[in-house]
Structure 1
Amino acid sequence: MIKFVYCVRKKEGISDEEFYRYWKENHGPLVRSFAETMGSLKYVQSHTIDTVLNEVGREVRGMRQAYDGITEVWFESAEALANMLLTEEGKKANKTLIEDEATFCELRECSVFLTEEHVIFDRTES
């Protein structure tokens, strides 16, 4: 199992409220509508919360400003993702999603990459 991780920066001129609402209420359902076509198994949005703890965490590490959130999309394998992107339906879905992302994200300031998860511990399980 792999995850397509998308670090998101909102487009300049869009309020935080408008950005998070659109991402969740418009873009989220659009992604869901392509789930079968894309072979995606799970889709999660993590919206950055406004807390002083973000600044504290960055300052002590000398890091730059946080992203506005991240998206994670689970796929069976990198090969499954690559094969989907070669189909006409996959190309159309990907094009549609990118066009929608460009309406609320500053694409040149975002980042995407594939990851393989390694759980070191999970205290949420009973």
Structure 2
Amino acid sequence: MLKLTMCVKRQPGRSRAEFDEHWRNQHAALIRKHAALLGIRKYVQTTPLANPTAQHALQQSRGAEPVDFDGCAELWWDDLESHLAARGSAQGRMALQELIEDERRFVDLAKSQMWYGLEREIV
């Protein structure tokens, strides 16, 4: 399966609560609306745990930097070819455009990171 991972930063001026509310409710609804058309098999949102003590201990144990994003989205498709084909139709392009336009309302896309990958399930 093909997986898209996005580490997203919120738009400047938006609080974490505002970002999360839009992401969890409006954007998730759009993903559900277009999932079949775009061939999305699975969609998961992950937000950083709101526990500064635990986060700091984790980062200190590995010498890591503090988290510099507001969430992580993961989307799965059967493969790259079917993913690209779904986006190639007129309906697929319109659905993708609606998703991107919504992302621009709450995500700072220029400061976010995203990549395609293949999972290696170990456990």
Q: TM-score, normalised by structure 1?
A: 0.88
Q: Which residue of 1 aligns with 2:101?
A: 99
Report what 1:124 is aligned to: none
Which of 90, 93, 96 pairs up with 2:92? Answer: 90
Mark the runs of 5 or more structure 2 residues left unpaired by the alignment.
Answer: none
Aligned pairs, how many?
A: 121
Q: How does 1:15-94 map to 2 (within 5 A)?
A: 15-51=15-51, 52-59=53-60, 60-63=62-65, 65-94=67-96
Equivalent residue for 1:12?
12
CA shift for structure 1 position 64: 5.1
Once the two structures are superposed, residues 18-40 of structure 1 have per-residue CA deviations (whole angstroms, 9 ceiling, x without a partner) of 11111001110111100111011
Q: Percent identity?
A: 28
**What is the deviation of 1:65?**
3.2
Give the deviation of 1:17 after TM superposition: 1.1
- Find the counterpart in structure 2 of residue 117 from structure 1: 119
Residue type at the aligned position of 1:85: R
CA distance in 1, matches of 2:70, 2:57: 17
Give SS of 1:112's match.
strand
The secondary structure found in structure 1 opposite 2:17 is: helix
Separation in 2, partners of 1:22, 1:103 = 9
Scaled by the length of structure 2, the TM-score of the pair is: 0.89
Q: 1:28-55 CA deviation, whole Å, 9 max, x = no partner?
A: 0111100111011111111112222323
Structure 1 alignment gaps of length 5 or more: 122-126
Amino acid at match of 1:95: Q
